[in-house]
Chain A
Amino acid sequence: MDNNLDEAIRILEELKTTQTPPNEHIFEQLDKLYEMRLEIVELHIEIATAEYESVTAALEDVITEGKEALEDTGKIASTLRKIDKAVGLFKKLIDSIK
């Protein structure tokens, strides 16, 4: 998940700069990704779990869709929806270790 989250953040930061006027939804979703990264550093997460794998896969989807959105703004909305999915799975992962 480490690199996927970093890459997802990088893409969203880039996507953010392509929108004039700014797209508030991108700001919101980017904030969720930063929040995830701040949380995950503090947790001792077991990486060999199904929950962890599902977050990693969901972030992979964000990256794939996000890269396409950089070329085609019509994909922005679906990218942002995929972030919601990744964030939801991350919350489940957190619940599973608490």
Chain B
Amino acid sequence: MRMIIAIVLWVALAVCSCGITVQQKEAIDTFGEATAAVGAFCEEELAFIKQDVTEMNLYFAALDTAYTSRGIDTLGAFANEKNTAARIAAGNALRAYGEMLSELATGDQEEEIHDAADTFIRNASAALGAELAEERHKAAASLLRTLAAKLEEWKRTEAIESIVPRARTVVDRLAEMLAVDFSLETGEWRSRGYLFSYRDTAYRLRNKAQRVTDYGGAYPLPHRYIAVQAYHQAASAIARAALVEERCTPALEELLRANGELVHVIEDKDYSIADIKEYHRLVRELVGTIETLRAGE
């Protein structure tokens, strides 16, 4: 009986992994793991930024007696619910896509693959909105149908071969969108994103706080106390923005390159996976830096 079970397991394993080499499996899993990590990073960082913008604007309004409640409501408009939700959805979509690929390459939980695929499509649609409007329904439904059919037959290799090239454009677009949001480069207005405005919010608060801290004894002590706290928060945000950009920009650029490479890796068993490994290294660096930063908060 044991022998029969062992043979059945061996056959099942062989069927699952047929058509895919160890190197291809490694590439898909490595790409999946890195993409899940970079997606999760973006989600968490955007949520942090939104919260930090709110806190900085509270200090800002406290330091400026000219601000009425109406004025306070207008502060931090770039980080409103709608803007932030779309960007967090982009991070969430990348995370789900990475998890789906890793699970397809090395996992054995069909339900988890379905859940990740569903999350990927739902969040990619929310993030890209109108951009995907026309093709969204057809492409998403087709992708899910393909995945379901392949998984029913437990043909994971075919599922990967079918999904990766078709999802490439969407993944590229999500990465491009997040790359803009995590860039501090000056250029046209349309190429400035979330992190740029976050840093400007911090610059503005720093300016407001310095007006008090650098003015000797001209302001009462309670006012000065708020200004010192505000200055500290603004300075931390400015430093954080620089660090996030320094690590996140190369990781997202490498994601774009590796996403293209993954298609080649799947088509050609002997294709080099150097870019994918480099992508994984950069994401590890990004996650390591941010974990250190968050641990110190």
Q: Which residues of A contact B (CB under 8 A)?
A: 2-3, 6, 16, 21-22, 24, 27, 30-31, 34-35, 37-45
- Pairs A–B under 8 Å by Cβ, sample size 5: A2-B187, A27-B211, A31-B207, A38-B197, A42-B77
- Verify B189–A45 contact, CB threshold 8 A: yes
Are B189 and A2 in contact (CB-based, < 8 A)?
yes
Are A35 and B204 in contact (CB-based, < 8 A)? yes
What total count of A-B pairs have CB within 8 Å?
A: 49
Of all chain A residues, the one with the shortest Cβ separation from B77 is: A42
Interface majority SS on B: helix, strand, loop or mixed?
Answer: helix
Complex contact B186–A6 (CB within 8 A): yes
Give every chain B residue within 8 A of A21 (Cβ-Cβ).
214-216
- CB of B201 closer than 8 Å to a CB of A: yes
Question: In the bound complex, do residue A22 and residue B203 qualify as a contact, i.e. CB atoms below 8 Å apart?
Answer: no
Q: Which residues of A contact B207 (CB under 8 A)?
A: 16, 27, 30-31, 34
Q: Are B203 and A34 in contact (CB under 8 A)?
A: yes
B196 within 8 A of A: yes
Q: Does B210 contact A (CB under 8 A)?
A: yes
Taking Cβ atoms with an 8 Å cutoff, the residues of B that contact A are 77-78, 186-190, 192, 196-197, 200-201, 203-204, 207-208, 210-211, 214-216
Contacts known (A22-B215, A31-B208); A38 close to B200, Cβ less than 8 A? yes
Residue numbers in B under 8 Å from A39 (CB-CB): 77
Q: Determine how close the nearest CB of chain A comes to the CB of B208; give it in whole angstroms.
A: 7
Which residues of chain A have C-beta atoms less than 8 A from B77's C-beta? 38-39, 42
Q: How far is the CA of A12 from the CA of B203 in the complex (A)?
A: 12
Query: Complex Cα distance A43/B250, Å?
Result: 28
Q: Which residues of B contact A43 (CB under 8 A)?
A: 189
The distance from the CB of B46 to the nearest CB of chain A, in whole angstroms, is 16
CA A11 to CA B95, docked complex, whole Å: 42
C-alpha gap A2/B188 in the complex (Å): 6
The residue of chain B having its C-beta at the shortest distance from the C-beta of A3 within the complex is B186
Q: How far is the CA of A57 from the CA of B197 in the complex (A)?
A: 24
* Complex Cα spacing A16 to B192, Å: 25
* Nearest 8 CB-CB pairings of A with B: A34-B204, A27-B211, A22-B214, A41-B192, A6-B186, A38-B200, A30-B207, A41-B189
Cα–Cα distance between A45 and B142 once the two chains are bound (Å): 38
Instruction: Specify which of B201, B208, B210, B216 is in contact with A38 (CB 8 Å cutoff).
Output: B201
How far, in angstroms, from A41 to B186 measured CA to CA in the complex?
A: 11
- Known interface pairs A6-B186, A35-B204; A22-B196 also in contact (CB < 8 Å): no
Distance of A23 Cα from B189 Cα, bound (Å): 30
CB distance from B117 to the nearest CB of A (A): 34
Once the chains are docked, how many angstroms separate the CA of A43 from the CA of B188?
Answer: 12
A30 to B211, CA, bound (A): 11
Residues on A with C-beta less than 8 A from B188 are: 2
Tell me, rounded to whole Å, the shortest Cβ–Cβ distance linking B193 to chain A: 8
Q: Is the CB of A22 within 8 A of B186?
A: no
Closest residue of chain A to B211 (Cβ to Cβ) is: A27
B78, A38: Cβ atoms closer than 8 Å: yes
Let me know if A37 and B200 touch, CB within 8 A: yes
State A21–B77 Cα separation when bound (angstroms).
33
* 14 new A-B contacts at CB < 8 Å, known A21-B216, A34-B204, A41-B196: A2-B189, A3-B186, A6-B186, A21-B215, A22-B215, A27-B208, A30-B207, A31-B204, A37-B200, A38-B201, A38-B204, A41-B78, A41-B192, A42-B77
Q: Which residues of A contact B197 (CB under 8 A)?
A: 38, 41
- Shortest C-beta distance, B205 to chain A (Å), equals 9
Q: For residue A1, give the distance in angstroms from its CB to the closest CB of chain B.
A: 8
**Chain B residues closer than 8 Å to A34, beta-carbon distance:** 200, 203-204, 207
Contacts of A45 in B (CB 8 A): 189
